[in-house]
Structure 1
Amino acid sequence: MSNINEQAIGASWQPWVATTGRVLLAAIFVLSGIAKLADPAGSAGYIASVGLPAPQFALWGAIAVELLGGLALIAGYKARIVAAALAIFSLATAVLFHAQLSDQTQFIMFFKNVAMAGGLMQIVAFGGGRLSLDRG
């Protein structure tokens, strides 16, 4: 009997939980994009400090990925494709910017990005949910 109740409750809450998860995952991308827009010189300097070529190009590419990808994920537009792109972006960011694992802050940032990629892969696997533009 309790299994039936758990299934009924799960079914009624699932769309809201999926939507909340999408919004929470997307928030860091949107906020990071806004932060880069607020200080493009500082952001480009940080990108240059890790030795990436064309820091200005990388900056505007990152802003586009973070803002457009984050907003699309919130809306649930092309959720699986967007989540896959953001997962790849998160893993690349972990490797390129946070690979100094002997530094505790970088260690945490590295695995935060890896964990975000894991959450995004759940969206790739299961879709954006019923309350997304994709509807599933």
Structure 2
Amino acid sequence: MHIIEIFGRIFLSAVFLIAGVNKIFNYEGTTAYMESFGVPDFLYIPAIILEILFPLLIVIGYQTKISALIMAIFSISLAIIFHTDFSNQMQVMSFLKNFAIAGGFIIIFVNGPSRWSIDYMLKSRTK
């Protein structure tokens, strides 16, 4: 793989990194939104951790495969929980976007990181 693969990891991860940081600064708005869909507010902190930790791991290429799998599952879960009002075109697009992002994470899970990753460097050292 070429170094350009890093950009794919960054682009996929950026959506969640930005959302996670925004959640930190918008507790009331975020928890109200979550609760309006039946998601309890005690999941606020785990959501922030998921949206920041695992995308960062994907960007640096550490524990990449498991992080990508977790983010694929998370992205699909978000689509199913928050974006199933198919009478609203924006919700349809958000639903499809989340599945497309999950597809990107699944590709990373299947292929693993390239040589431009901590995982690759660690694997090379053990040989």
TM-score, structure 2 as length reference: 0.92
Contact 1:80 1:128 in 2 (8 A): yes
Superposition map of 1:18-97 within 5 A = 18-52=5-39, 54-55=40-41, 57-97=42-82
Post-superposition Cα deviations, 1:5-51, rounded to whole Å, max 9, x if no partner, equal xxxxxxxxx33121111011111111000010110111000000011
CA distance in 2, matches of 1:119, 1:126: 11
Q: CA deviation at 1:58?
A: 1.2
Tell me if 1:122 matches 2:107: yes
Q: For the aligned residues, what is the CA RMSD?
A: 1.1
TM-score, structure 1 as length reference: 0.86
Contact 1:84 1:120 in 2 (8 A): yes
Structure 2 gaps of 5+ residues are: none
When Rg is computed on C-alpha atoms for both structures, the one with the higher figure is 1
- 2:118 aligns to what SS in structure 1? coil
| Residue of structure 2 equivalent to 1:131 | 116
Contact 1:94 1:110 in 2 (8 A): yes
